[in-house]
Amino acid sequence: MKILAFLSLVVSAQIAFAAGHSAIDPVPREGGWKNRQDLLNKRASEGGKKAQLIFIGDSITEGWEGAGKEVWAENYAKYDAINLGIGGDRTQHVLWRLDNGNIDGLSPKAAVVMIGTNNSNGEDNTADQIAEGIRAIVQKLRTKLPETKILLCAIFPRGENVNPQRGKILQVNQIVHKLADGQNVLWVDFGHKFIDDGGHIPRDIMPDYLHLSKAGYQIWADSIRNPLARALGESSR
C-alpha cells in the first residue's frame, strides 16, 4: 500500500508539472536586461498616447535599433513607434514585461509581435509549449490593449541549412497561425523570403543565420507594409 501511495504521489506530481512550463511562466532576467527593461518602461511613459505603433520581441526586434535603424526611420518614425525588443528574451520574459511597465500608458493602433526563437533552442521547450507562450502573449495584449490590432509574425527561420530547429519553428508557426482572426489578430508569414532556392539562408540577409542585416530588415518592412497599413487604419499601399 505504501508503494502504491508513493507511486500515486509521483504520478500526481508529474501531472502537475506537465500542466505548467517555462514558456508560460512570467519571469524577469538579471544583469543588463534590467537596464534595458527600465529603458523600455521610460519609452512607454514618454511615448504615451502619441505612440501609434509598437514592436515586441527579442534581439531580432531590438535590432531595429542597429542594422535596421535606417529602415525603421524611413517606415516607422512617423508613427512615433516604440521598439520593445530585448535580446535573448523568450516568451516568459515578454509576459513578465507586459505586466511590469512596457505597455503602461500606451494605446497604440498596432503591435507587431515576433517572439519564440529563443525558446526553440535544444530541448528547452517543445513546439506546443512555445505556441502556448505566444498564445499567452497575444491574450495578454488583447486584454491590456483591447483597441490595438496585433500583427503576429511567424518566427523567422534560422541556421544556414535545413535543420531540426527550423522544423520545430515551422510547427510552432502552424499552431499559432490559428490565433489570427482576420480582425484583431493578423497573421503574417514571410519566412520563405529569407531562404534561397536551395534551402539556405544567405549571409547578406542574416549574417549569423539568425539576426538580420539591413537587407533583412527591409524584407521585414516590405512584407508587413499592407497588413500594417490595415491595422493602422490606412489604405493598403
Catalytic annotation, residues: 59, 208, 211
Query: Which residues touch 106 (CB under 8 Å, ≥6 apart)?
Result: 44, 47, 48, 49, 51, 54, 82, 145
| Terminal-to-terminal C-alpha distance of the chain | 71
3-state secondary structure of 99: coil
C-alpha cell at 209: 543565420
C-alpha cell at 223: 512584407
**DSSP letter string, 192-213:** GGGS-TTSPPPTTT-TTSSS--
The angle, 0 to 180 degrees and rounded to 10, between the axes of the packed helices 127-144 and 91-98 is 10
Strand pairing category for 110-114 and 149-153: parallel
